[in-house]
Amino acid sequence: MKLLKITILILFAAVLIYASSDLPYRGDPDTVMHNARSITDTAVIGSYAIQESYTETRTPNMVTVILGDYRSIDTFGEQIVIYTAGLITILILRRRRREDEG
C-alpha cells in the first residue's frame, strides 16, 4: 500500500514536471495570454504591467506593483478579511475565558 502511494506520487510529479516544460517564460510579452484582447478590444493587464510597471512606479518587482498599486483595493480587502478574523477571535474567545474565570 505504501509502495502504491509512492508510485502514484512519483507519477503525479512526473506529469506535473512534464506539463511545466510547456509553460511560457516568466514575463515574456509574446505569449498567448498577454496578446489577448478584452471584449472592448483593449490590451489586457498582463502586457500593460510588463511594459509600463517599471516606468510608472520605479519598482522592479512586477508582482508588488500589481498587488500594491494596480490592484491595491483588492489588497485592502484582503487586509480587511484578516482584520475581521482577528476581531472575531476577540469577540468569541476572549469573552468565554472571562466567564470561566468569573
Partner 1 sequence: MKDKIESPIVLLGARLLSPYIMVFGWYVIFHGHYSPGGGFQGGALLAASILLIRVAGGSKIGTLQLNEKINTPLAVIGVLIYFATGIAAMITGGYFLDYAFLPIPGMDPAWLRYTGILIIEVGIGLAVMAILIMIYDNMAMGEDRD
Enumerate binding residues for partner 1 (CB under 8 A): 55-61, 63-65, 67-69, 72-73, 75-76, 78-80, 82-83, 85-86, 89-90, 93-94, 97
CA gap 87, 81 in Å, rounded: 10
By CB neighbour count within 10 A (0-12 exposed, 13-18 middle, 19+ buried), where does 65 fall? buried
At closest approach, how far in Å is the CB of 82 from partner 1?
A: 5
- Which residue, 46 or 62, is less far from partner 1 as judged by CB? 62
Residue 34: CB minimum distance to partner 1, A? 21
Task: Give min distance, CB of 81 to partner 1, in A.
Answer: 10
Contact at 8 Å (CB) between 29 and 50? yes
Which residues does 33 contact at the CB level (< 8 Å), separation at least 6? 24, 44, 46
- The nearer residue to partner 1, 7 or 59, going by C-beta atoms, is 59
Backbone angles phi, psi at 30, to 5 degrees: -95, 5
Cβ closer to partner 1: 44 or 87? 87
